Chain A
Amino acid sequence: MDFTTQDFFFLLFAAIAFGCSLLCVTRRNPVYSAAFLVMAFIPIAAIYVMLQAAFVALMQVMVYAGAIMVLFIFVIMMLNLKPLELFYNKPPAYIIGSLLLIGMIGLVTVSYLFGGNGIKPLTEKTPTIADAIQTRDENGEIALKEVKHEPGSPGAVGLSLFQKYPLQFELASVLILVAIVGAVVLAKKGISDSGEEGELRVKN
C-alpha cells in the first residue's frame, strides 16, 4: 500500500480530531470541553474538503463550529455549571466504557489491516453535474445555458437536493417542525392547567 500525501493529511487531521474529541469528553470544566469540541470540528471539516465535499465542509465550520458552538457556550454560561465530578466518581463505568471502546476500535483496525478485504479506495472521480439555467443571450432572447457544477459545490448539492432527493428534503422540514413543537412543549412556562410553574411534583 502506497503512502500518499493524501494519506498523510488524512491521518494528521484524524489524529487531531480524535485527540480533541478525547479531551472534550474527559475535561471536567464544561467550557474546556466546548472549546475542544470546536477544535475537533475543524479538522473534520478539513477531511470533508479532502473528500471533495467543499459545501459540507463550509457548513461544518459555519453551522457547527460557529453557530451551534456559540449556543453551547451561552447555555454553559447561563447555567453557570461547576466542573463536573459525576463521571470520575464511578471508576467501574469509566473503565468498562474505555475498554469496550478500545476493543471495538482494535477489532475494526485488526480486521481492516489483516482481514484482506479492506476498504476499497475511491478510484473513479465523481462526475461533474450538468444543469441548464435560463439566461438571456446578447440579443435579449431567453435561452438555455449549460452550467457545470464541481462535485461537492453548493450548486451540485442544491441540484441533487431538489432533483434527486426532494422527498427527503420535505421530510426533513417535517422533522424540524416536530423538533420546534417539541421544544416548545417541554420549555413553555405554565403549560399545565393547574398553573403551577417550575415546581416538580414528585409522585409517591
Chain B
Amino acid sequence: MLHIAIETAANAMNDFNYDVLMPLIVLAITGSAALLLDLFLARGESRRSVSMLCVTGLIIAAGFCANELGTNATFWNGAVKIDSLGLVGSMICLVATGLVMLGSESFLKKHKRLGGEYYALMLFSSLGMVTMCIAADFITMFLGIEIMSIAVYVLTGYFRDDTKSSEASMKYFVLGAFATGFFLLGVACLYGEYKTFELSKFVNGSLTESSTLALFGCALVLIGFFFKLGAAPLQVWVPDVYEGAPTTVTAFMATGVKTAGFVALLRICTSFTIFWEERLVVLFGAIALLTMILGNFLAIVQRRVKRMLAYSSIAHTGYLFLGLLIAMVKKAPGADQGHLIQDANAAILFYLLGYTFATVGAFIVLSALSRGGRDVETFDDLEGLGWRHPVLGVALTIFLVSLAGIPVTAGFFGKFFIFRTALLYDDAYIPIVVAAVMLSVISVAYYLKASVHLFFRGKAYEGPELETGWDASFVTLLCFAGTIFLGVMPDSFYALCKSAASEIQVILQVAAN
C-alpha cells in the first residue's frame, strides 16, 4: 500500500512537464516584472519601457508556442492539451495583445492616464487567454476565463475619471459575473453526471441517452460562452461596453477575448458527443443566423463609429458560429468527419487572425484620430480627416473593406474558407450560407459609410496638427501588412491552421469504439 502511494505520486510527477508551460511561465514572469519596473517610473513619465518589456515577453511566449507546434499530448494530469489548435489560437491571442500594447502608449498619454498596470493587466489577461486555448479540463479553463475576464473588467474601467468607462466596466463586471455563475453551475452539473472535469472523458453518451443533469449542464456552460462571445440573444452588453471602454482596450476585447473564447468553445463542442445531435445543431444554426442578422442590421443604424464596430463584431461572431456549426455536425462516415473538422477548424482560425488584424487596426486608427483634441465618436467627427491623415484614412478603409469581406484582404478569405467548407460537406447549409453572403453584402453599406465620411464628406479638416504618435502609425502599418498578406497569400497561414485538428480525430476514434 505504501509503495503504491509513492509510486502513484511518482507517476503523476512524470506528467508535470514544465516545458509545455513555458509560454505561461514567461507571461507570468514578464507581468510581475512589468509591475515592478513601473514602480521606478515617476507619475506622468512615459511607460514605453514597460510596454517594450511586455511586448518582448509576448514575443518570447509566442516563440515557445511556435516551438511546441507539432506536439499533440496531454500534460499535468489532463489539465492542458498541447496541440496545434491551442497553440495557433494562443499565438493569435498573443499577436492581438502585442499589437494593442504597441499602439496604446500615445493614446494613454493623450488621455493623461499613463500607468504600468495597464500593460501588466493586459499581459496577465493574455496569460488567461493562452490558458483557455490549451485547457483540457474545466477547472483550468475556468481559471483561464477568470484571469482573462477580471483583467479586462479592470481595463474597461481604466479611464476612471470618465463616467462612460466606469459605467461600461460596471455593466461588464456584473453581467460577466452572472455568466461565470452559469458556467460554473453547468460545470458542477456535468461533474455530477460524469464525475470528471476532463473534456476528453465526455465523449460517451448522446442527447437522447443523456440525463437531464448532463443536458442542463451543457446548456449552462453554453450560456456562459455565448455571453463572453456576444452571441445573440446574449449580445446586449457588447455595444455599451465596447463604446465605453478606452478604444485600445476595445481593440483588445474584440479580438483577444473572442479568439480565446472561440478556441475554448471549439474544444468543448468537438469533445462533447452530446453536441453533435441534430437538434442542437439546429439550435446553433439558429443562433448563428440570429447573431448575423442582429449584428448587421443594427450596425446600419448606428451613428457612433465604435458602436458600429461593436455591432459588426457581433455579426462576425455569427459568421464564426457558422464555422463552429460545421465542425460540430455529425457525419455518417467516420473518416469524412476528421477532414470536415480539420477544414472547419482551419477556417475558423484563419478567420480569427484576419479579423484580429482588421479589428485591431480599425480601433487603433480610431484611437489615433482626433478632432480638435477630442476623440472621434460619431461618423460626423470623421469628416475630412482622411485628407488630413491620408495614411490612417486609407488604412482604416482597408480594414473596413477586410471586415466586409471584399477580395484582396484577409476578411474575404476568412469568409470564403468558412462558406466553402460548409458547402463542400453538406447541401443543407445552402440557405444559411446564402443568408450569410447576403448579409455580408449588406455590411458593405455601413463599413464604407465611415470611408465616405473620411474622404468625401465635408471640407478637409484644417484644425491644429495632432500628434498621432508613431506607435499607432506603426501598429496600423503592421495590421495593414497582415491584412493584405493574408489576402494575397492565404495558403501560407491556412496550411498551418489545417494541421490544427489532429487531436479531434483521436476523439472520434474513441467515440467510435
Chain A residues in the interface with B (C-beta under 8 A): 108, 111-112, 115, 117-120, 130-132, 144, 146, 163-168, 171-172, 174-175, 177-179, 181-182, 184-186, 191-194, 196, 199-203
Given A181-B35, A194-B112, the answer on whether A131 and B79 have CB atoms closer than 8 Å is no
Closest Cβ–Cβ distance, residue B13 to chain A (whole Å) = 9
| Chain B neighbourhood of A184, CB < 8 A | 117
A186 touches B154 (CB 8 A): yes
A-facing residues in B123-171 (Cβ within 8 Å): 124-125, 127-128, 131, 139-140, 143-144, 146-147, 150-151, 153-154, 157-158, 160-164, 166, 169
CA distance A143 to B104 in the complex (A): 59
Contact string, B185-205, partner A, CB cutoff 8 A, digits 1/0? 000000011000000000000
B2 at the interface (CB under 8 A from A): yes
Which residue on chain B has the smallest CB distance to residue A159?
B9
A181 touches B121 (CB 8 A): yes
From A132, A185, A193, B43 is in contact (CB under 8 Å) with A193
A186 touches B121 (CB 8 A): no
Which residue on chain A has the smallest CB distance to residue B13?
A163
Closest Cβ–Cβ distance, residue B316 to chain A (whole Å) = 27
A192 touches B147 (CB 8 A): no
A167 touches B163 (CB 8 A): no
| Chain A neighbourhood of B210, CB < 8 A | 117
B114 at the interface (CB under 8 A from A): yes
Given A168-B79, A181-B121, A201-B162, the answer on whether A108 and B143 have CB atoms closer than 8 Å is no
B143 touches A172 (CB 8 A): yes
| Chain A neighbourhood of B115, CB < 8 A | 185, 191
Closest Cβ–Cβ distance, residue A80 to chain B (whole Å) = 20
Interface-centre pick from A120, A177, A178 (highest chain B CB count, 10 A): A178
B140 touches A167 (CB 8 A): yes
B160 touches A167 (CB 8 A): no
From B16, B127, B140, B151, A182 is in contact (CB under 8 Å) with B151
Which residue on chain A has the smallest CB distance to residue B189?
A119
From B124, B128, B162, B192, A119 is in contact (CB under 8 Å) with B192
B344 at the interface (CB under 8 A from A): no
| Chain A neighbourhood of B193, CB < 8 A | 119-120
B212 touches A108 (CB 8 A): yes
A-facing residues in B102-121 (Cβ within 8 Å): 112-115, 117, 120-121
Q: What are 24 A-B interface contacts by the 8 Å CB criterion?
A: A112-B212, A117-B209, A119-B193, A119-B211, A120-B193, A130-B4, A163-B9, A164-B77, A165-B77, A166-B16, A167-B21, A171-B143, A174-B28, A175-B146, A175-B147, A178-B121, A179-B150, A182-B154, A185-B158, A186-B154, A191-B115, A194-B112, A200-B163, A202-B163
Given A130-B5, A186-B157, A193-B113, the answer on whether A119 and B150 have CB atoms closer than 8 Å is no
B416 at the interface (CB under 8 A from A): no
Contact string, B1-40, partner A, CB cutoff 8 A, digits 1/0? 1101110010010001000010000001000100100000
B485 at the interface (CB under 8 A from A): no
| Chain A neighbourhood of B79, CB < 8 A | 165, 167-168
B379 at the interface (CB under 8 A from A): no
Sorting the interface of chain B by its residue count into under 10, 10 to 19, 20 to 34 or 35 or more gives: 35 or more
CA distance A199 to B160 in the complex (A): 10
Contact string, B168-192, partner A, CB cutoff 8 A, digits 1/0? 0100000000000000000000001
The 10 closest A-B pairs by CB, nearest first: A182-B154, A193-B112, A171-B143, A193-B44, A117-B211, A111-B212, A130-B5, A167-B76, A201-B161, A178-B124
B52 at the interface (CB under 8 A from A): no
CA distance A142 to B163 in the complex (A): 65
Closest Cβ–Cβ distance, residue A134 to chain B (whole Å) = 12
Closest Cβ–Cβ distance, residue A112 to chain B (whole Å) = 5
CA distance A108 to B157 in the complex (A): 38
From A164, A175, A181, A192, B117 is in contact (CB under 8 Å) with A181
CA distance A112 to B125 in the complex (A): 39
B212 touches A178 (CB 8 A): no
CA distance A185 to B166 in the complex (A): 12
From A146, A165, A174, A193, B124 is in contact (CB under 8 Å) with A174
B131 touches A185 (CB 8 A): no
Closest Cβ–Cβ distance, residue A15 to chain B (whole Å) = 19
| Chain A neighbourhood of B153, CB < 8 A | 182
B213 at the interface (CB under 8 A from A): yes
B192 touches A163 (CB 8 A): no
B150 touches A178 (CB 8 A): yes
From A164, A185, A203, B12 is in contact (CB under 8 Å) with A164
B160 touches A181 (CB 8 A): no
B237 at the interface (CB under 8 A from A): no
| Chain A neighbourhood of B44, CB < 8 A | 193
Given A164-B77, A171-B147, A178-B151, the answer on whether A193 and B114 have CB atoms closer than 8 Å is yes
A171 touches B163 (CB 8 A): no
Closest Cβ–Cβ distance, residue A173 to chain B (whole Å) = 9
A-facing residues in B381-438 (Cβ within 8 Å): none
Closest Cβ–Cβ distance, residue B153 to chain A (whole Å) = 7
| Chain B neighbourhood of A168, CB < 8 A | 79, 139-140, 143
Given A177-B124, A178-B121, the answer on whether A163 and B143 have CB atoms closer than 8 Å is no
| Chain B neighbourhood of A199, CB < 8 A | 161
| Chain B neighbourhood of A179, CB < 8 A | 150
| Chain A neighbourhood of B80, CB < 8 A | 167
| Chain A neighbourhood of B456, CB < 8 A | none
Closest Cβ–Cβ distance, residue B135 to chain A (whole Å) = 10
List 16 other contacts, CB 8 Å, given A165-B139, A181-B120, A191-B113: A108-B212, A118-B211, A119-B193, A119-B212, A175-B143, A175-B146, A175-B147, A178-B121, A178-B125, A185-B158, A191-B115, A193-B113, A200-B162, A202-B163, A203-B162, A203-B163
CA distance A100 to B165 in the complex (A): 31
| Chain B neighbourhood of A194, CB < 8 A | 112
B216 at the interface (CB under 8 A from A): yes
B151 touches A118 (CB 8 A): no
Contact string, B57-85, partner A, CB cutoff 8 A, digits 1/0? 00000000000000000001101100000
B140 touches A171 (CB 8 A): yes
| Chain A neighbourhood of B28, CB < 8 A | 174
A120 touches B76 (CB 8 A): no
Given A171-B144, A192-B161, the answer on whether A146 and B21 have CB atoms closer than 8 Å is no
